């Protein structure tokens, strides 16, 4: 059985008529007024002269340059400038400014301002209290788990296809419950500090060990620091509007919400360890999540945290935990093309999939750091449409496509291969939806985190090159690097799209 190629995806047209949004349409309509006015006053030359100006406006409004239209760029640049002048781009933590009062309160920059982390009820034999992430600004709740997976580097094509079906089942399961609005999958490859190895060596090297053997261990410890550690997370995002309804049947108020979230975690966990093929899934507690967030901002802190955890087993006076107030950066700054946080800088890009389609495994190049100091991260977000909304949108698109096709046929315009292909894809979507598939509008973010002393621009280029090697096209998220960093490297369920139902 050959590995599957996935090519039946389209770009959702945000516009309502001819792919234009209402503001674009209004702007372009208003822009025709000077021409009409000139014509009505019989100033023919002025009317004709206005046509190229209108065409220029059309070009600037509609044609995307690096992901945004020229007007979009202008609007983004203006808002970025305003944010810069207002001091919103820079962040200093309360700990850094000496105003820290509560260690348990989150102190995060920008997009994370409205985030709270609550402890769930104790569950299971180990009585773990799973952390629940409440995002007040987006009105969502989220829970995060760490996943251990064997990957597909050694998988057969048949196994890859089974895993792909597993991912399909994950989305379908999430959609069937009509609670989960987004699923985030994140993989981070972090430089290996070998702290666990060092601690293990200290505990296991025997006193009478031969010199050559011990020397070899020490040399290998040094060599191993060129390696990486891979960690993967899944985050489920549930909008408050949906959760509150369900929570009424599960005990009401916060308890009801927690119970609902935990039942969702169990349901999704079964799919992750089943069809998805994960070796293990562990829903994170608040201290674990705090550590994951801290290491998201500062990968280099891992050695200290692991050593402290080890010391705490022998010395009760050692506190290995990361207080939430200190989990964020002490200072951060959003530049146009990267995001600087503590002693690190991150460049984030989104990707464009190839029109001819892609098979599983293209992200491997992105996850391979180009140097030992680099941390790479890939986050894939699956916003899930409700079935009713998906059907409506598919029907709209099909209708729009048919209308356009009919118009072309009447005008005698030739239908190109692209149109045929798009029509086939839309037909396929309709068939899949009729068969009960779930509609999603996924996107992916790739990021590279490097020490602030390293040349950021160079590592940004290397990230772009890695994305291209995977057969995709990079698109740097300029002027949104702060929000992009949060989505790409912190498994807190913060999405770049805020269309939560």
Partner 1 sequence: MKRYQMTSDQAGVFWPFLTASPLPPTGAPMGTDMSNGATFYVDPHGWVLNDSIPVTNPNIFVFGKPGRGKSAWVKAFLNRMFAFGYQALILGDPKDEYELMCLHFGVEPFAIGPGMPTRLNPLDPGPLASNWGQLNRDEQERRSAVIFGRWLVLLRSLIGSQSIGDRKVAVGPTEEQVLKAVLVELTHTNSDSRELRPIVIPQVWQQLHSPSDALIAELRYPDRHTFLDDTRLLRDAVAQLISGVFAGIFDAPTTVTIDWNAPIQSLSLSRLMPLGDDAVGMALMCLNSWGTAMRQVSGRRRINVRDEVWRQLRLGTGAVSSFDADLRLSRSHGDIEIANAHKPSDYLGAGHAGSQAQQIAKDLLHLGDIKVLFGQDAEVADDLEQLLDLGPVARDIVTGWAMGGKGRALIAVGPRLHKVALTLHPDLELPLTDTNQKLQT
Question: Which residues in the 336-395 window bind partner 1 by CB under 8 A?
Answer: 350-353, 357-364, 367-369, 378-380, 382
Site for partner 1 in 440-499 (CB under 8 A): 440-444, 475, 477, 480, 484, 496-497
Q: How far is the CB of 450 from partner 1 (least distance, A)?
A: 16
Site for partner 1 in 175-194 (CB under 8 A): 175, 185-187, 189, 192, 194
Q: What are phi and psi of 315, to 5 degrees?
A: -135, 110
Nearest CB to partner 1, comparing residues 132 and 180: 180
Q: What are phi and psi of 76, to 5 degrees?
A: -65, -45
CA separation, residue 124 to residues 127, 130, 249, 288, 425 (Å): 5, 11, 22, 17, 45
Contacts of residue 57, defined as CB under 8 A and 6 or more positions apart, other chains included, come to: 27, 28, 31
229 binds partner 1 (CB under 8 A): yes
Closest Cα partner for 233 from 500, 487, 474, 466? 487
Contacts of residue 376, defined as CB under 8 A and 6 or more positions apart, other chains included, come to: 188, 189, 366, 367, 368, 369, 446, 447, 448, 449, 463, 466
Nearest CB to partner 1, comparing residues 45 and 211: 211
Site for partner 1 in 143-172 (CB under 8 A): 147-156, 160-161, 163-165, 167-168, 170-172
Nearest CB to partner 1, comparing residues 101 and 356: 356
Figure out which of the listed residues 58, 62, 77, 437 binds partner 1, where binding follows CB under 8 A: 437
Alpha helix locations (H) across 63-156?
A: 70-86, 94-97
Token representation of residue 227: 């390696």
Nearest CB to partner 1, comparing residues 113 and 156: 156
* Strand intervals (E) in 224-318: 228-239, 278-283
Q: Which stretch binds partner 1 (CB under 8 A): 18-26, 111-119, 218-226, 335-343?
A: 218-226
Site for partner 1 in 62-101 (CB under 8 A): 67
Nearest CB to partner 1, comparing residues 77 and 96: 77
Figure out which of the listed residues 97, 213, 498, 501 binds partner 1, where binding follows CB under 8 A: 213
Nearest CB to partner 1, comparing residues 105 and 148: 148
Site for partner 1 in 1-40 (CB under 8 A): 4, 6, 8-12
Contacts of residue 245, defined as CB under 8 A and 6 or more positions apart, other chains included, come to: none
Do you know the residue count of the chain? 501
Q: Provide the mask over 396-435, with x wherever binding to partner 1 is found by CB under 8 A and - wherever it is not.
A: --------------------------------xx--xx--
Q: What are phi and psi of 476, to 5 degrees?
A: -65, 135
Q: How far is the CB of 496 from partner 1 (least distance, A)?
A: 5
Alpha helix locations (H) across 109-194?
A: 157-177
Site for partner 1 in 279-298 (CB under 8 A): 279-280
Q: For residues 376 and 346, what is the distance between their CA atoms, to the nearest angstrom?
A: 9
Nearest CB to partner 1, comparing residues 117 and 484: 484
Q: Please work out the total of residues on this chain that contact partner 1, with binding judged by CB under 8 A.
A: 102
**SS3 letters for 72-92?**
HHHHHHHHHHHHHHHCCCEEE
Contact yes or no for 341/329 (Cβ under 8 A): yes
């Amino acid at each position: 059985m050959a590995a599957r190629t996935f090519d039946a995806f389209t770009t959702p047209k945000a516009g309502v008529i001819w792919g234009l949004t209402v503001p674009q349409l209004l702007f372009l309509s208003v822009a025709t007024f000077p021409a009409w006015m000139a014509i009505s006053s019989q100033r023919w030359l002025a009317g004709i002269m206005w046509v190229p100006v209108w065409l220029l406006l059309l070009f600037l409004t509609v044609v995307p340059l690096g992901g945004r239209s020229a007007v979009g760029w202008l609007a983004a640049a203006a808002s970025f400038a305003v944010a810069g002048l207002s001091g919103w781009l820079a962040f200093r933590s309360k700990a850094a400014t000496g105003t820290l009062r509560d260690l348990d309160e989150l102190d995060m920059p920008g997009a994370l301002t409205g985030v709270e982390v609550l402890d769930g009820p104790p569950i299971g034999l180990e009585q773990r209290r799973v952390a629940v992430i409440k995002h007040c600004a987006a009105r969502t709740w989220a829970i995060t788990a760490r996943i251990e997976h064997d990957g597909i580097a050694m998988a057969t094509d048949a196994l890859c296809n089974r895993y792909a079906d597993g991912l399909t089942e994950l989305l379908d399961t999430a959609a069937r419950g009509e609670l989960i609005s987004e699923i985030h999958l994140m993989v981070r490859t972090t430089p290996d500090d070998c702290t666990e190895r060092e601690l293990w060596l200290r505990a296991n090297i025997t006193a009478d060990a031969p010199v050559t053997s011990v020397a070899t261990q020490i040399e290998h410890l040094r060599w191993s620091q060129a390696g990486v550690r891979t960690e993967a997370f899944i985050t489920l995002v549930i909008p408050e509007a949906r959760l509150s309804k369900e929570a009424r049947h599960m005990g009401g108020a916060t308890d009801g919400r927690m119970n609902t979230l935990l039942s969702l975690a169990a349901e999704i966990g079964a799919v992750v360890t089943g069809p998805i093929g994960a070796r293990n899934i562990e829903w994170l507690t608040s201290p674990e999540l705090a550590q994951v967030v801290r290491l998201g901002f500062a990968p280099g802190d891992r050695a200290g945290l692991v050593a402290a955890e080890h010391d705490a087993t022998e010395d009760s006076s050692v506190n290995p935990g990361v207080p939430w107030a200190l989990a964020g950066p002490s200072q951060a700054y959003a530049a146009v093309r990267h995001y600087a946080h503590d002693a690190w800088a991150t460049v984030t890009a989104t990707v464009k999939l190839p029109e001819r389609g892609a098979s599983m495994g293209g992200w491997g190049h992105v996850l391979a750091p180009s140097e030992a100091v680099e941390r790479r991260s890939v986050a894939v977000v699956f916003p899930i449409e409700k079935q009713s909304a998906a059907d409506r949108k598919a029907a709209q698109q099909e209708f729009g496509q048919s209308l356009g096709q009919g118009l072309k046929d009447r005008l005698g315009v030739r239908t190109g291969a692209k149109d045929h292909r798009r029509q086939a894809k839309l037909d396929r979507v309709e068939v899949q939806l009729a068969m009960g598939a779930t509609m999603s509008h996924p996107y992916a973010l790739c990021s590279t985190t490097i020490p602030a002393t390293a040349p950021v621009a160079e590592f940004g280029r290397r990230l772009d090159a890695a994305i291209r090697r995977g057969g995709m096209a990079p698109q740097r998220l300029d002027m949104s690097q702060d929000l992009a960093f949060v989505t790409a490297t912190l498994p807190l369920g913060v999405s770049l799209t805020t269309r939560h139902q």
